Structure 1
Amino acid sequence: MAPDAKTIRPPTVGTRDFALLAGLTAAAALLHLWLAGATLLSGDEAYYWLWSRRLQLSYYDHPAMMAWWMAASTALFGESEAAIRLPAVLAVAAVTFLGFDIARLAFRDIRAGWWTVVVLNATILFAAAGVIVTPDSPLLVFWSASLWAMVRLLDEGRLRWLYVLGLSLGLGFTSKYTMVLIAPGILAVFALFPEGRRWWKSPHFWAAIVLALACTSPVLIWNALYDWVSIRKQLSHSFDAPVGNPWKSLVTFLGTQLGTVTPLIFAFMLWGMGWALWTGWRRGNPAWFLLGATSAPLLAFFLNHSLGGLVQPHWPGPAYLGAAIATAGAWVSLGPAWSRSLRGAWIAAICLGGLMVAATYAQMASALLPIPIKSDPMSRLGEWDRLARAVEAERAKRPDAFVFAAKHEVAGLLTYYLPGHPIVFLTGSAGFPRIPSYDARDAAALPGRDGLFVIKDGRYALQDIRPSFRGLSLLTTVERTWGGKVVDRYEIWLAESYGSGTFENK
């Protein structure tokens, strides 16, 4: 067993190590940027792009940080796919640096930093996060920054890190509500270890909490103005979404985590989380305990949540930041005996993860791998421009017709890929706050006009809108393909002479 890390000063990062880390991170960022520009947007990304065109303090689905970042990126570099996704590219680069430094500081070993970089980049979850932009992009940055500030506070005891921690926590919440789930782990360290308890009597501790709350004010103000609609939605989504078969949902969740984290690395991360919690507590090392306390409970939360509702594969993503650092640190701390016994499995885990990441990038860029469509998440990137061209052809025949859809993702994609970025209305919504691309004044101008309704599964949606229009007729059907295989089929319907009802909040 290596000496207690608390008795050793952390190694400095030499010029050679820094240059190598910067070079590798820049190379990965360039690869991510190329992929970002070579693939079409997904539905969620296009929807978030709508947010960036009408900036708000917060939004119906998530807080606003990602929209603010995207607005800055597109203002500087235009509205290409690469510019829209640039925040994701930069976020993963920042997390790479932070993860390296957290591991170096927590384990007093620069090898832990390098293994953290390797483990993170050998997961599909982290690899995809460097290309696809979501609210998780800023969330991962501020989650990592919170861990970094906390580890530095524990190590150095300097007041400034307390304020950096408060700032990171508040900005993280203004990125995504998931940020609240880091708080129990951090508070546990402040409560259980003398290095943390010493701050309870300091007025600066409470000032840092006030700073964190002040940073959340955009989300709180917006929700207060709109009857707390976003927070109520998230609470309902988390606790009031029963599923028909909870055990099937649980197995699906575990399967997606094995796939996105890669199977062997997932197993090592579970071990790393447990090791960090147990060893950190037993040896009185709050930094190690912190890594386990901000990862294992988060994964357990979503594991339990999967019994009551669908959990998207990337939702537990922040848990794997602490887990990757803990796993890398455990690997370099356990000594030669453990390393020899697990070396084969460790190398296999990294190699398998690397191969799966390479395959993901190849599929994202080419769609050539023979993956079944239903099992290929990359298929959501395929041929939205083809659908937009078909809609535009019908729109050219009816210049006064408006376009509408039943899904916010489709509304975002059509707005982006149709010439001139026109408003695409959403059924069951008068616009803001549900979707920020239009408001009730825009919807009020629709009566008497024809609409072009774009729908994938039209039976129930047509029943819903039929009373609002004089007549409905199918114009054309468009197949959306990926790698030469049909992903889904969209219908374009002519909805004649809108009356009322469809574009009111429901």
Structure 2
Amino acid sequence: MNSALAEPLKTALVLPRLRLSWSAAVYLLILAAAVLNTLYLFVSPLDLSPDEAHYWDWSRHLAWSYYSKGPFVAWLIRGSCELFGNTVFAVRLPAVLCSTLMLVALDRLARRTLGSAKLSFWLVAVVLTLPPISAGAVLTTIDAPFLCCWSWALVFVHRAIFENDDRSWTRAGIVLAVGTLTKYTMLAFPVLIGLFLIVDHSRRPTLFGCGFRRMTFLGCLGLIPILVWNATHDWLGLWHLFGQAGLATGPKIGFKWYGLLDYLGGQFAFLVGYWFCVWLAAAWTFRPGREANPHFAFLWWLSVPLVLMMLPFSLRVKVQPNWPATAYLPGIVLAVAWLRRQFEGESKIYRRLVIACLALGILASLTLTIVARFPRLALPLFAKLAAEPTDDQLAPVRNLDPTARLRGWRYLAGEVDKLRDLVRSEDGQESLTGAMVWTLPGELGFYCEGNPQVYTFGVALSDRFSQYDVWRPNPVADAQAFCGRTFVYVGEKMPDMNAVFERCDGPYRVEYRENGVTVGGWKLWIARGYRGFPTSHKLSQY
């Protein structure tokens, strides 16, 4: 065969095989991650996080919406628990499913924008090492379904814009509606798409096309259950949203000059430092007016503006590190595109420096991910760095180890059950269970024997307003329904506790230890003869 013809024929035969190989590899990688995450649910040393337990409690009271969030995460948990019972596995299985679907979407987005299945494989491999992604793969908070919805919305809209696939607008709208039921921030998605279409002159007519309007309309349908619930609950969710965004007034709302630094520092830590720096470099390199690649422009406009949108809020309220998390879904693809260009440079020294920094960044991410999954590995270090325990601070290690909030709840519930049994044997009746703050009722309700409904006195003790204050009856708003009852109470001593109850026994100190280190500490009371709180209390709804 003529050599001039043989070489192109050889290339044509080999390249599809290589593409198929990398395509298979990325799906095998995603499947392996899903299997390992599922197996981890059976061996995890971590109890439910307070947020997970809170949403599980929501799932016992199914509704069109809830005080602080939409209903979708509660619906997911309820469906899983109906299949597998009220178990940790059932609560967390939706996170594994959502994470797996998110990775598939990222793979498809990366292939379409980077044009390389090989780069897509390495992108997914890197994403799996990131602590926020790793946590979201096994913890069912609102972020798991929210990130999943956002990533698929990216895929469908990219396909609609760049491949003229009209049906993808409809699919994007459906995903947008589900995402809105999960987190209100989903409504920012069509705004970001609109910004991209306005700036891209050749695609600007798409902004006024029926496809974009259809997507936006379908997405807004997700607001209907939320608005119906709010209309029947004095618009509590709306006021909460205003408070969270710093748009309301109150003693905790004001100008915070240091908020900007706090916000940026939180983003730096959220992405393990290295990846935030790479994202910044990519954002600068591919900024509008400099980058001609329309796919990279799409990624830029769906990433950078969302991070910038949070800047003014940081001057008024505390912006949590995960609030702009969806910005880093297209952002990590953009970061990989930037890294690829660095490897194409002529300087060997520079390329080696880039490789060394990349290796250190991946190593740091992987180390933090492993420690977060198996926190006892770092417990001796945290114990050395932590202050000495005091009467007010039984477990100072919790100030250093963020995973400590996910440990000890099962043990605490066992101690609460002992006091419940004591009351049953002494008084011949069942006690109620109460807590000082909103993070405790879900944990106690999940882990205590019989899954009792647990109440909170928090709104009367300067804690934030929560869903527990919406449900009625509750002991603060409906004291007459609880008069004379005995509570096993978890928390610090209340002001005027003897006026709230006829008699209080305690505190009974509970300490949860791992390898001799106190990881959690609580105070328990047997409080008999509930009378209600003697003074009125202003309820803070944010």
- Distance in 1 (CA, whole Å) between partners of 2:256 and 2:511 is 32
Amino acid at match of 1:254: L
How big is the shift at 1:314? 2.1
Give deviations 1:319-339, integer Å, cap 9, x for gaps. Answer: 111110111123335671178
Aligned position for 1:447 = 483
Give deviations 1:302-326, integer Å, cap 9, x for gaps. Answer: 3443333223332221111111011
Give deviations 1:362-387, integer Å, cap 9, x for gaps. Answer: 44325131342222111111111111
1:332 to 2:345 alignment: no
1:313 to 2:324 alignment: no
Q: In terms of mean alpha carbon deviation, does 284-293 or 384-393 score higher?
A: 284-293
Q: In terms of mean alpha carbon deviation, does 215-224 or 150-159 score higher?
A: 215-224
Amino acid at match of 2:185: T
Identity %, equivalent residues = 27
Aligned position for 2:57 = 50
Contact 2:506 2:524 in 1 (8 A): yes
How big is the shift at 1:48? 0.8
How big is the shift at 1:464? 6.4
- Distance in 2 (CA, whole Å) between partners of 1:172 and 1:80 is 25
Amino acid at match of 2:503: G
- Distance in 2 (CA, whole Å) between partners of 1:319 and 1:201 is 25
Coordinate RMSD, CA, aligned: 3.0
How big is the shift at 1:421? 0.3
Give deviations 1:425-446, integer Å, cap 9, x for gaps. Answer: 111569x982399522896542
Cα distance change on mapping 1:51 and 1:371 into 2, 3 Å: farther
Cα distance change on mapping 1:113 and 1:343 into 2, 3 Å: farther
Cα distance change on mapping 1:34 and 1:298 into 2, 3 Å: same
Give deviations 1:338-378, integer Å, cap 9, x for gaps. Answer: 78534533453344334433443244325131342222111
Contact 2:22 2:118 in 1 (8 A): no
Task: State the SS of the aligned residue for 2:63.
Answer: coil
1:411 to 2:441 alignment: yes
Q: In terms of mean alpha carbon deviation, does 194-203 or 391-400 score higher?
A: 194-203
Aligned position for 1:267 = 277
Cα distance change on mapping 1:277 and 1:78 into 2, 3 Å: farther
- Distance in 2 (CA, whole Å) between partners of 1:200 and 1:346 is 41
Amino acid at match of 1:314: N
TM alignment of 1:203-282, pairs within 5 A = 203-239=210-246, 240=248, 241-242=252-253, 246-247=257-258, 249-278=259-288, 281-282=289-290
Cα distance change on mapping 1:412 and 1:29 into 2, 3 Å: same
Task: State the SS of the aligned residue for 1:408.
Answer: coil
- Distance in 2 (CA, whole Å) between partners of 1:47 and 1:404 is 15
- Distance in 2 (CA, whole Å) between partners of 1:113 and 1:175 is 28
1:395 to 2:420 alignment: yes
Give deviations 1:447-486, integer Å, cap 9, x for gaps. Answer: 111111101xx24xx0165533223331411123455422
Aligned position for 1:8 = none
Match of 1:186 among 166, 176, 193: 193
Give deviations 1:8-33, integer Å, cap 9, x for gaps. Answer: xxx99944233212221122122222
Q: In terms of mean alpha carbon deviation, does 119-128 or 99-108 score higher?
A: 119-128
Give deviations 1:166-190, integer Å, cap 9, x for gaps. Answer: 2222221111122233333211122
* TM-score, length of structure 2 as denominator length: 0.82
1:477 to 2:509 alignment: yes
Contact 1:250 1:307 in 2 (8 A): yes
Amino acid at match of 1:394: L
Higher relative contact order (CA 8 A, sep 6+): 1
Match of 1:427 among 457, 466, 483: 457
Match of 1:152 among 150, 153, 159: 159
Aligned position for 1:95 = 102
Bigger CA radius of gyration: 2
1:379 to 2:404 alignment: yes
Contact 1:449 1:498 in 2 (8 A): yes
